[in-house]
Structure 1
Amino acid sequence: MTLLHIDSSILGDQSVSRALSAEIVSCQTSLHPEIEVVYRDLTIDPALHLSGAHMAAWQGAAVDDASLAADLAIGTAYLGELFAAEIIVIGAPMYNFSVPSQLKAWIDRIVVAGKTFSYTAEGQLQSLLPAGKKVIIASTRGNIYGPGTPTEALEHQESYLRGVFSFLGIGDVAIVRAEGIAFGEEAKQAAFAKAREQIAALAA
């Protein structure tokens, strides 16, 4: 059994999403002692943003640029890790109402026609991933974006991630959320405590 652990926060040791994703992984390894953990810090080994050269290479064009070849290898590794993992844990802070660009670059390498999804001749979407995968997202937000809040329409983080994984045929997506963490230290600690309760509930 394999768990893929991904972090995308640029805040290092000060990151709430990193702390929460680590706790989620610790909880899952306690539940499954035999599990193998594969870790990706997307701020240390990020993929490049997609370019015309990437698209050409995917269409069979020769790759003469060493940096492009290395980046294509990163994308291939991302796909391999996704296919191998039964559990995917993602630290996903909200940056400017969406996900970090490093996480978006990872998504651009795993949502690939002919690799992770395809369409039938009738236009029906088909997932090419093995069944039974579970995603757990450690979501952190400075503000509060729930239903009925003034900022609800600006939430393009959790909804985006749910949409991505649903598109890929992964319906088992759990979200551990700490929000309002920019409202002061007391609010941050309260949000952290609530998120930890959610992590414990995942193991119940």
Structure 2
Amino acid sequence: MQILHLDSSILGTASVSRHLSSNIVDRLKALHPDSQVIYRDLALDPALHLSAKHLAAWQGAGSDNAMLTEDLYKGTAYLQELLESHVVVIGTPMYNLTIPTPLKAWIDRISLVGKTFHYTDKGPEGLLKDKQAYIASSRGGVYSSGSPAASLEHQETYLIGLLGFLGISDTKVIRAEGLAINAQVKDAAIAKALEDIAAITG
């Protein structure tokens, strides 16, 4: 089994989402000792955001821009890693009510018609139906269902929707929220998330 492990927090070792995503991967490796892990630190080594030059290159235009060429190869690697993986583990904090921009840049490289989804006469259809995903989510406030700020949550819901659009319907969220309220709430949230990770059986 191949596991694709993505992190996107800018906080390095202080990141809760990185801590949780690492624990999820460790749990999956314990359950599947023959697993291979492909790791991408999207915050440390981000892809460029899409531009007209990217579109021109995809349409066959030549480029002597070394940075663009390197970035195009990176995007191709992103896609191949996803296609070859059985499980995707995404570590993501909430930044300004949504996901970090390096994670969005990764999404823009792997959401490709004819590769990870296609259009039919019945609407779009995802092509990644044999995969599983885990979202290691962290956020300073409380945005889960039923909370006063739930309508502002565009982090987990976006990722779940995007993964479902690509055909990945088996997505589990491991969440630690309220981290900025106080130390007691933070510690309890992390402890609960780690319990949820320990209960993973798949």
Unaligned runs of 5+ in 1: none
Q: Secondary structure at the match of 1:23?
A: helix
Aligned partner of 2:195 in structure 1 is 197
For 1:16-55, list aligned pairs within 5 A.
Answer: 16-55=16-55
TM-align CA RMSD: 1.2
Q: Deviations along 1:30-68, whole A, 9 cap, x unmatched?
A: 000000011000012110010011111112222221111
Report the CA distance between 1:89 and its aligned residue: 0.5
Report the CA distance between 1:186 and its aligned residue: 1.2
Does the CA contact (< 8 Å) of 2:4 and 2:85 recur in 1? yes
Q: Secondary structure at the match of 1:37?
A: strand
Aligned partner of 1:69 in structure 2 is 69
Q: How many residues align?
A: 202
Q: Secondary structure at the match of 1:163?
A: helix
Unaligned runs of 5+ in 2: none
> 1:95 aligned to 2:81?
no
Q: Deviations along 1:72-122, whole A, 9 cap, x unmatched?
A: 0000000010001101111011000000011111111111122211113x2
Given candidates 154, 157, 180, the residue that maps to 2:155 is: 157
Q: Secondary structure at the match of 2:62?
A: coil
Aligned partner of 1:188 in structure 2 is 186
Is the alpha carbon distance of 1:114 and 1:64 closer, same or farther for their aligned partners in structure 2, counting shifts above 3 Å? farther
Consecutive aligned runs of 4 or more in structure 1 exceeding 3 Å deviation:
none
Report the CA distance between 1:123 and its aligned residue: 5.3
For 1:139-154, list aligned pairs within 5 A.
Answer: 139-154=137-152
Query: Under a length normalisation based on structure 2, what TM-score does the superposition of the two structures give?
Result: 0.96
1:26 aligned partner, one-letter code: D
Does the CA contact (< 8 Å) of 2:126 and 2:164 recur in 1? no
Aligned partner of 2:168 in structure 1 is 170
